[in-house]
A = this chain, B = another copy of it.
Amino acid sequence: MSSKVIIEDVGKKTKEDLKVLILNSAKKLFVEKGIEQTTIRNISDSIGCSIGTVYVYFKDKNAIFHALHTQGFIQLSSEFKVLSHVGNPLERLRAMGKVYINFALKNRDMYDLMFNLKAPMEFLNDEKLQEWNEGKATFDVLCSTVNECLTAGYFKGHELEPTAFMIWSMVHGMCSLEISNRSVGVNIQNPETIVIAAYEEFMKIMDKL
C-alpha cells in the first residue's frame, strides 16, 4: 500500500523530472561551456539517456534553448524584486539599470540567449506564437517605471515608449558590446570599468532631465 504510493510518486517524479533533468543538464552545459558546446549528445550523455529521449520531451534544439531563455527571464525578474523597495521612480529606474547590467555581465551567455540569439525567436515562429511574453513583461516593467517618472515630473517633453526603448537600448547596447567582446577590442583607457562609467554618464543625464 505504502509502496504503491511511493511507486506512484517516483513514477510521477521521474516522468516530469526527465524533462526538468534535461533542462537542468542543458543549462549546466550551457553556462559552463557556452551554447556551441551544448549539443544534444552532450545533454543526453550527461544524464545517461539516449538522444531520442531528448526529442520525446523537446521538439528540437530551439525548444530547449527557448525553455532556457524563459528560465533566464524568471531569474532576471526575481532579481528585479529588490526594486519594489525603492520609492522614488527615478531612483528605481537607476537601480533597475544596475540590476540589469549586473545580471547581463554575470550571466553572459544567458543574456546573449535572452536578447541576442535567434533560437528563442525561431522557436516562437515555428510554434506560430507571435507573443514574446517574457520580453513583453520585462519591457512593461520598464515602461511603467518610466511612466511613473513622467507623472512625477521627470523627463518633461518626452514620449513614454520611445524613451523607455531608448533607455533599454542604452543598457542593452553596453552589455551587448561588452559580451560580444567589442568593447575590449576598441582602444579604451579603462576597459574593465567602461560599462559602469558609461552608465554613470547616462545617470548624470537623467538628473538633468
Q: Hey, which bits of chain A sit against chain B, CB under 8 A?
A: 115-118, 121, 124, 131-132, 135-136, 139-140, 157-159, 161-163, 165-166, 168-174, 176-177, 180-183, 185-190, 194-195, 197-202, 204-205, 208-209
Across the interface, do A159 and B209 meet the contact criterion of CB distance under 8 Å?
no
Q: Which secondary structure characterizes the binding site on chain A?
A: helix
Contact A174/B169 with A185-B136, A187-B139, A189-B161 known, Cβ cut-off 8 Å:
yes
Across the interface, do B171 and A201 meet the contact criterion of CB distance under 8 Å?
no
Q: Which residues of B contact A132 (CB under 8 A)?
A: 182, 185-186
Complex CA distance for A199 and B163, rounded to whole angstroms? 9
Beta-carbon nearest neighbor of A190 in chain B: B161
Which of B115, B135, B177 is the one whose CB lies under 8 Å from A172? B177
Across the interface, do B115 and A198 meet the contact criterion of CB distance under 8 Å?
no
Across the interface, do B158 and A166 meet the contact criterion of CB distance under 8 Å?
no
Centre residue among A117, A173, A174 by max chain B CB count within 10 A: A173
Which of B163, B183, B197 is the one whose CB lies under 8 Å from A201? B163
Give the number of copies in the complex: 2
Which of B135, B162, B201 is the one whose CB lies under 8 Å from A194? B162
A and B contact pairs by CB, cutoff 8 A, 23 listed = A115-B177, A121-B180, A132-B182, A135-B182, A135-B185, A139-B187, A159-B197, A161-B189, A162-B197, A162-B198, A165-B174, A165-B177, A165-B188, A165-B195, A165-B198, A166-B198, A168-B177, A169-B174, A169-B176, A172-B177, A173-B173, A205-B205, A208-B209
Q: Which residues of B contact A202 (CB under 8 A)?
A: 166
Across the interface, do B116 and A159 meet the contact criterion of CB distance under 8 Å?
no
Q: Which residues of B contact A197 (CB under 8 A)?
A: 159, 161-162, 165
Complex CA distance for A129 and B168, rounded to whole angstroms? 33
Across the interface, do A140 and B198 meet the contact criterion of CB distance under 8 Å?
no
Complex CA distance for A171 and B158, rounded to whole angstroms? 18
Complex CA distance for A67 and B59, rounded to whole angstroms? 36
Q: Which residues of B contact A182 (CB under 8 A)?
A: 115, 121, 132, 135
